[in-house]
A and B are shown apart, each in its own frame.
Chain A
Amino acid sequence: MTRQQAFSLGLRAVAPMLLGVAPFGVIYGVVALQSGIPPLAAMAMSSIVFAGSAQFLLAQLVGAGAPLLLSAGAVGLVNLRHALYSASVAPLLAKLPRRWKVLLAYLLTDEAYAAAIPHLLDPTLATTGEVRGHWILLGSGIGLWTGWQLSTLAGVLIGTQLPSDLGLDFALPLTFIAIVVPMIRSRALLASALVAGAVAVALAAMPYKAGLFVAALAGLALGPVLARRPA
């Protein structure tokens, strides 16, 4: 696989998610302006913070006049699950120069990670000698980044005129399903998914999406243990 092929593979893998991300970006732009954030700052936040749910939260907190420490802490909590993605891709990026690691870490969102990870873990990719995994991740990362910037811009510019309840955001969970279900190849992985899903639902009321992080940890820890028990 050449660099271009790997890059375009990542781009294509993230493309269906843009359908779901775009309405979020537009709504974020609108919410940010309504919270009293100037258009330029609202746009800049999409590249400085570059994290959908954290930006929504930050816009609301700024609008409510929340104290700085609380706002920063909340954003950290919302993004904590990205540490898991970091751990997951770290061994695969180990040999890259630092500028690559920095760039890919900046681009490491839920969507970019989800789009690239099945390909990164694909054993046939590793056997082709020269590993192009980082180009796949770059493709999905840049694809999502571009979509997020453009949709934020649209939200800031056209504001509330867009119909928001078309249901396009459903493309996001659907693409995650398309990615995750084929990855469940063992009883242990199935158990892990069931535990993570159940805990996420049970803890959905926890503030700042902390439940998502706890649910992912529970799936990581309990899935393999449960599956080892005789049925």
Chain B
Amino acid sequence: MNLWGLMLICGAMTFAIRYSFIAAEGHFRPPRWFRRLLPFVPVAALTALTVPELLLVQGTIDVGGGNPRFWAGLVAIVAAALWRNTLLTIGCGFLAFFLLQRA
């Protein structure tokens, strides 16, 4: 099996995962509890993706002064809660990040 074969298998699998529920929609009736969980997907999945990026430095939790991503992330969370503006949130986060990196 060559590299291209492996790539095609992985591509097909990735597509199948992404297509799964989109394709099944209308062909089966999901239980009600399933539908009730769906509104939680964006918040749960994207938070799971983000929090380790802020808290972990090489696999261990670091919330000290040596981890600017944690503190800049907190600044961004506060900014996002206050103003609900994407660019402002990113701007505040980056500003804090670069200031803390210099400190």
Contacts and interface: CB of A to CB of B under 8 A. Distances in A.
B103 interface: no
B49 A223 contact: no
A220 B40 contact: yes
B31 to A, nearest CB: 13
Interface residues of B, number: 66
Contacts of A223: 40, 43-44
Contacts of A80: 17
Contacts of B52: 200-201, 204
A94 B73 contact: no
Given A41-B4, A50-B11, A205-B59, A93 B22 contact: yes
B44 A219 contact: yes
A108 interface: yes
A102 interface: yes
Given A86-B20, A101-B23, A181-B80, A49 B7 contact: yes
B32 interface: no
Question: What secondary structure prevails in chain A residues at the interface with B?
Answer: helix
A78 B20 CA distance: 16
Interface string B30-50: 000011111111111111111
Interface in B55-88: 55-56, 59, 61, 69, 72-73, 76-77, 80-81, 84-87
A118 B86 CA distance: 12
Interface string A105-134: 110101001100110010000000000000
Contacts, number: 243
A72 B42 contact: no
A64 interface: no
Interface in A165-189: 167, 170-184, 188-189
A82 B14 CA distance: 8
A193 B39 CA distance: 12
B86 A85 contact: no
Contacts of B42: 88, 113-114, 117-118, 121, 179-180, 183
Interface of A: 13, 16, 37, 41, 44-45, 48-51, 54, 58, 62, 68, 71-72, 75-76, 79-91, 93-94, 101-102, 104-106, 108, 110, 113-114, 117-118, 121, 167, 170-184, 188-189, 192-193, 195-201, 204-205, 212, 215-221, 223-224
8 contacts: A45-B7, A75-B13, A82-B14, A90-B21, A108-B22, A174-B72, A189-B40, A200-B47
A-B CB proximity, top 6 nearest: A219-B44, A197-B51, A181-B80, A178-B89, A105-B19, A215-B48
